[in-house]
Amino acid sequence: MTTAAASRSLSSTVVSARARRGWGDRLFRGLARGAALSLILLVTAMIIGMAGAAMPSFRAFGWRFLYTSTWDPVAETFGALPFVYGTLVSSLLALVIAVPLGLGAAIFLAELAPVWIRPPITFLVELVAAVPSVVFGLWGIFVLAPWLRNWVQPALGASLGFLPLFQGPPYGVGMLAAGIILAIMIVPFITAVSREVLLAVPNTQREAALGLGATRWETTRIAVLRYGKSGLIGAVLLGLGRALGETMAVTMVIGNRPEVAISLFAPGYTMASVIANEFTEATSDLYLGALIEIGLLLFAVTVIVNALARLLVWSVGGAVKQVRE
Amino acid sequence: MSALTAGSALAVVLPLILLFGFLLHQGASAVNVDFFIRLPKPVGEAGGGMANAIVGSLILIALAGALGLPLGILGGVYLTESRDRRLPWLIRFVADVLNGIPSIVIGIFAYTVVVLPMRRFSALAGGVALAVIMLPIVLRTTEEMMRLVPASLREAALALGLPEWKVILRVVLPTARAGIITGVMVAIARVAGETAPLLFTAFGNRFWHQRLDQPIAALPLQIFAYAIAPYDDWHRQAWAGALVLIALVFLVSLAARIATRGRYSAVR
């Protein structure tokens, strides 16, 4: 690694001596630089374009937009609270289900599983991540929601019905369905990134713990998980970022009712779903502005969550060079 | 504890197996020749297919590739070759963050830069949205794969007197080709299933599209429209569409994996 880096910088210095002459080199370098800079331009244009289009809504409602819950396109009164609430609750529910499963699967794949079984299972996990959102949504409508309505929700209502979380009629579609489908969709990301983080933990850590007489599980817990903690938090945040912005599958199973309800059985609505459902119907500038303002909010939140996640994952050794989408 | 972690690994892949089972069960009967060569039929008439949506998806992917691949690969070249410290770090970071931005937000972006000025939904707008999604994936894989090319190869080429740009185009990129193709295929598999950014850019179309500045059908859009419609016949078509889409995505992913078999394990 170091010799490669050294020889690369050596070849670079050789090149820089020549580059002063070659117009081909200058042209090529300019093109490559331009392509890379276009990425920054793109994100800047994204922010400016969306902020501009959201202006009418921001002028009309100000910060009230974030904490009022009237969404009335006819009267042109818009408050985004039910959507913010729906996004947060469905994502948190997804994390509650997905984090233990994802971390468990990652520990299995990186530490405990027999070596021959690791590649096929890792491959299957990657395939789950590759399933298009709309296909999960289709499955959610026709398989998950009826199953929840007929089996899970009556059972939950009978046993835990004294909690406000599990009250109300079992529709099938609703917050619970959204949380479960989101969990299924983000768990492969959490698994894959956590696995990479665990693999980046140096072997000396494990050897030291084993040398002190720790069992396999104790080694994993003390020497590996603790070492990779910030990276694992990053993995969870990456999953959260996915959940916050996930659109199609959620739109298809959450029930799309703009209300704040405590019960997980009740239908809800998320920021991404309202954009998906109403964008093409938005006729006035104010209506469109309100939807784009929700998009801008979603953009800001996911950028913060993702930035934080990347920094945390990068912090666990340079060994985790890349985290796939 | 070992058993518990094995159980969670099973729980992670179980939905895939359930999903695939149901897709085969529900969709296989509706996948026939008509599905691939016919237009959708109006409500109430049996039969019909999604030929326009399949072609539409291919056109959108091609458009996205034409816009996104050159930028992504060139950007990746910059990240590997640049001697600057800060700018590549920033670009890497922006690429990773862009990769995490919800696709529906990217749809809004394409709407503001293409649909609003043109005053109509179009295949072009859909292609732009998908290209923005492809860009960071292609950029990062290109960078990673170019880094794996041994420095001795570059040095040999440089020592023969080739200018740097020729070394990159004729020696480094061809050596990293298999890896870059993998990145491209991963990106294609990702955008092939994207629905949200197409809702208000490509918009969908029940007929053959005529021009690139007109709305165009796409397989995921059609699946969505049919899934939420109240007709049993459309539901069957949606299952069939989902089966075709997922088969396409899996084949591309599998091909990507086979292309780098061996190389990949050497990296780890």
Specify the 3-state DSSP secondary structure of A78: strand
Instruction: Break chain B into its structural domains and give their ranges.
Output: 50-267
Whether pTM exceeds 0.80 = yes
Selected residue of A18, A39, A311 to mutate for chain B interface (largest B Cβ count, 10 A): A39
* Chain A CB within 8 Å of residue B8 CB: yes
DSSP string, A214-238: --HHHIIIIIIITTTHHHHHHHHHH
Work out the pLDDT band at A99, boundaries 50, 70, 90: very high
Decide: B186 and B249 in contact? Cβ < 8 Å: no
Q: Pick from A53, A187, A216: which is nearest to B12 by CB?
A: A187
Q: Pick from B101, B200, B242: which is nearest to A135 by CB?
A: B242
Decide: B180 and B173 in contact? Cβ < 8 Å: yes
Work out the pLDDT band at A18, boundaries 50, 70, 90: low
pLDDT in tens, A264-289: 999 999 999 999 999 999 889 999 99
A213: left (phi over 0), alpha (psi -120 to 50) or beta: left
- The pair of three-digit structure tokens given for residue A128, joined into one six-digit string: 């789950």
Selected residue of A14, A28, A203, A321 to mutate for chain B interface (largest B Cβ count, 10 A): A28
- Over range A50-64, report the average pLDDT: 93
- Contacts of residue A233, defined as CB under 8 A and 6 or more positions apart, other chains included, come to A312
- The pair of three-digit structure tokens given for residue A262, joined into one six-digit string: 């405590």
Decide: B134 and A78 in contact? Cβ < 8 Å: no
Rounded percentage of chain B residues whose pLDDT exceeds 90: 65
Task: For B187, name the nearest residue in chain A, comparing CA atoms only.
Answer: A325
Which one, of A231, A263, A246, A235, lies nearest residue A91 by Cα?
Answer: A246
Q: What CATH architecture is B50-267? A: Orthogonal Bundle (1.10)
Chain A residues with beta carbon closer than 8 angstroms to that of B6: 108, 112-113
- Over range A16-21, report the average pLDDT: 53
* Chain A CB within 8 Å of residue B245 CB: yes
Interface contact A105-B104, CB threshold 8 A: no
Decide: A236 and A186 in contact? Cβ < 8 Å: no
Domain A64-315 = CATH 1.10.3720.10: yes
Interface contact B165-A138, CB threshold 8 A: no
Selected residue of A109, A116, A139, A274 to mutate for chain B interface (largest B Cβ count, 10 A): A139
Whole-angstrom distance, CA of residue B39 vs CA of residue B35: 8
Chain A residues with beta carbon closer than 8 angstroms to that of B73: 35
Which residues, in sequence order, are bridge partners of residue B40? B48
Decide: A146 and B47 in contact? Cβ < 8 Å: no
- ipTM of the complex, rounded to two decimals: 0.91
Which runs of consecutive H residues, i.e. helices, occur in chain B? 2-27, 33-37, 51-81, 86-100, 103-110, 116-118, 123-147, 151-159, 164-167, 173-175, 177-192, 219-227, 232-259, 263-267
pLDDT in tens, A132-173: 999 999 999 999 999 999 999 999 988 998 888 898 889 999
